[in-house]
Structure 1
Amino acid sequence: MPITDVEGKARALFEARRSRVPIEPFTDEDPSLGMADGYAVQAELTRLILAEGDTVVGYKVGLTSKPMQKMIGVDSPDYGPVLGTTVYRDGDAISASAFIQPKIEAEIVFVLGERLQGPGVTVLDAHRAVAGVAASMEIVDSRFADWRIKLADTVADLASNGAVAVAGRLVPLTGLDTRLVGMTLTRNGELVDTGAGAAALGDPLAVVAWLANTLGEVGIALEPGHLVMTGALHAAVPMTPGDVFRADFDRLGPVTVRVVD
Structure 2
Amino acid sequence: MTTAPAVDASTIAAADRLVAAERTGVACPPVRDVLTPHDIAAAYAAQRVNIQRGLAAGRRIVGRKIGLTSAAVQRQLGVGQPDFGALFADMCVADGDEIPAGLLLAPRVEAEVALVLGADLPDPDTTVVEVLRATEFALPALEVVDSRVAGWDITIVDTVADNASCGLFVLGATPVPLDRVDLRAVEMRLWKGADIVSRGTGADCLGGPLNAAVWLASTLAAVGDPLRAGDVVLTGALGPMVAAAPGDAFETEISGLGSARTRFAAAPAEGTQG
- TM-score over 0.5 (shorter chain): yes
Aligned match of 2:271: none
Among 38, 44, 52, the residue aligned to 1:39? 44
Amino acid at match of 1:212: A
Among 110, 114, 132, the residue aligned to 1:109? 114
CA RMSD of aligned residues (A): 1.5
* Matched ranges for 1:6-17 at <5 A: 6-17=11-22
Aligned match of 1:97: 102
Q: Where in structure 1 are there 5+ consecutive unaligned residues?
A: none
1:190 and 2:190 correspond: no
Q: Distance in 2 between matches of 1:131 and 1:138?
A: 20
Q: Distance in 1 between matches of 2:101 and 2:209?
A: 28
Aligned match of 1:121: 126
Q: Where in structure 2 are there 5+ consecutive unaligned residues?
A: 268-274
Among 172, 176, 180, the residue aligned to 2:177? 172
| Partner-residue secondary structure (3-state), 2:17 | helix
1:130 and 2:135 correspond: yes
Among 187, 205, 217, the residue aligned to 2:222? 217
Shift of 1:31: 5.8
1:75 and 2:97 correspond: no
1:92-144 Cα offsets, whole Å, 9 max, x none, are: 10124101111001111000011112211011110110001000000100111
| Partner-residue secondary structure (3-state), 2:167 | strand
Q: Structure 1 segments of 4 or more deviating over 3 A?
A: 1-4, 28-31
Amino acid at match of 1:215: L
Aligned match of 2:246: 241
Q: Distance in 2 between matches of 1:163 and 1:7?
A: 24
| Partner-residue secondary structure (3-state), 1:116 | coil
Q: Distance in 2 between matches of 1:64 and 1:155?
A: 14
> Which stretch shifts more, 28-37 or 101-110?
28-37
Shift of 1:30: 5.2
8 Å CA contact retained: 1:60, 1:231: yes
Aligned match of 1:148: 153
Number of matched pairs: 261
1:57 and 2:62 correspond: yes
TM-score normalised to the size of structure 1? 0.96
8 Å CA contact retained: 1:137, 1:165: yes
TM-score normalised to the size of structure 2? 0.92
